């Protein structure tokens, strides 16, 4: 997170309180980043509002600029502005979608998570992060190199936030149930599976001084365990990864980050694997 130099903040000019702006001020002040404010609107001129917000940020010692734009839809507008302004993080307020609407249409924030080539922080409320719990969600059972790199990035970003807020670090990974039919006898006993996951978590535990009590390794689906643990520890922010899913298979296979989004009461920082970021950047260039 320390490498981020510019942050794109999506502003809702009709809201009295900008939750995204509250979060962006905290992060920008900590890492020394500039803020670029964006209003996705073409029906009314909000430049006076943006100028006032930028003036307030500048007075607080945070360099800020702004854009008001609209390109066919919310996600396209955010992604185009992100690229044009060279931002390395998007911060946007998330409001729960109507269940019926979500069943018929893909929510805007799901589209943003899928197509934005930068990390996305979806802020739920303006409650203080200070001294709070930060939950890093990883899949320790995944063996490919891209996921290993993604896991390292997730835990690293979570650790940066812990330093920022003087908080407590937690790590969660869900493991599968034992199967007597498993080809590898190791996966036939729960004790063996837990030991494998605990061993894999050890390097994060040692590197980031995570206490044993803050390691949450349990059996079950990740999209059930993550909200459960986040609620138990009162997580201020959950850091999680997402993967590319397109076409019919993408519609049928749920993405954990999307599924848990409305179940978490705290903020959610979503990261992507490097190959997915490169693919999205290639699409943007075309």
Query: Does the structure show a pLDDT above 50 at 253?
Result: no
Is pLDDT of 18 > 50?
A: yes
Mean pLDDT over 14-24 rounds to 89
DSSP 8-state code for residue 119:
-
Confidence band of 255 (pLDDT split at 50, 70, 90): confident
Q: Which residues pair with 238 in a beta bridge?
A: 135, 268
User: pLDDT higher for 2 or 233?
Assistant: 233
At 246 the pLDDT is 47
Q: If one looks up domain 133-285 in CATH, what number appears?
A: 3.40.50.12370
Average pLDDT, stretch 75-102?
Answer: 88
Q: Please state which of the ranges 69-83, 153-167, 169-183 shows the lowest mean pLDDT.
A: 169-183
Q: Spell out the CATH class of 6-93.
A: alpha beta
Q: How do the domains of the chain map onto residue ranges?
A: 6-93, 133-285
The more confident residue out of 42 and 106 is 42
Residues of the chain above pLDDT 90, percent: 62
Whether residue 217 is predicted with pLDDT greater than 80 in this model: the reply is yes
Quick one: angle between helices 145-165 and 274-285, nearest 10? 100
How confident is the model at residue 101, as a pLDDT?
60
d(CA 132, CA 134): 7
Tell me, what's the pLDDT at 75?
A: 94
Q: Is 154 a residue whose pLDDT tops 80?
A: yes
How high does pLDDT run on average in the chain? 86
Residues 6+ apart with CB under 8 A from 223: 254, 256, 259, 260, 263
Encoded tokens for 167: 């908080």
Confidence of residue 14 (pLDDT cuts 50, 70, 90): confident
User: 234 in the Ramachandran plot: left (φ > 0), alpha (ψ -120 to 50) or beta?
Assistant: left
**The pLDDT of residue 142:** 73
6-93 matches 133-285 in fold: yes
């Amino acid at each position: 997170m320390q490498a981020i130099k510019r942050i794109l903040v999506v502003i809702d000019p009709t809201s009295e309180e900008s939750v995204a702006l509250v979060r962006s001020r905290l992060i920008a002040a900590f890492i020394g980043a500039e803020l670029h404010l964006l209003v996705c609107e073409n029906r009314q001129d909000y430049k006076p509002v943006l100028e006032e917000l930028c003036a307030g940020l500048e007075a607080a010692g945070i360099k800020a600029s702004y854009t008001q734009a609209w390109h066919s839809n919310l996600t396209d507008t955010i992604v185009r502005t992100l690229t044009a302004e060279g931002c390395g993080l998007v911060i946007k307020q998330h409001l729960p979608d109507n269940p019926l609407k979500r069943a018929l249409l893909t929510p805007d924030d799901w589209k943003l998570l899928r197509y934005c080539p930068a990390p996305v922080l979806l802020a739920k409320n303006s409650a203080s992060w200070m001294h709070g719990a930060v939950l890093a969600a990883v899949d320790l059972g995944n063996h490919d190199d891209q996921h290993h790199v993604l896991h390292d990035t997730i835990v690293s970003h979570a650790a940066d936030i812990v330093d920022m807020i003087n908080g407590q670090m937690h790590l969660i990974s869900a493991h599968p149930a034992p199967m007597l039919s498993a080809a590898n006898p190791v996966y036939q006993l729960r004790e063996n599976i837990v030991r494998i996951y605990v061993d894999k978590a050890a390097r994060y535990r040692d590197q980031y001084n995570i206490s044993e009590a803050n390691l949450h390794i349990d059996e079950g689906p990740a999209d059930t365990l993550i909200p459960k643990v986040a609620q138990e520890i009162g997580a201020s922010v959950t850091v999680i990864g997402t993967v590319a899913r397109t076409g019919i298979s993408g519609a049928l296979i749920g993405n954990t980050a999307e599924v848990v989004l409305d179940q978490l009461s705290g903020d959610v920082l979503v990261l992507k694997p490097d190959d997915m970021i490169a693919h999205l950047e290639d699409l943007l260039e075309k």
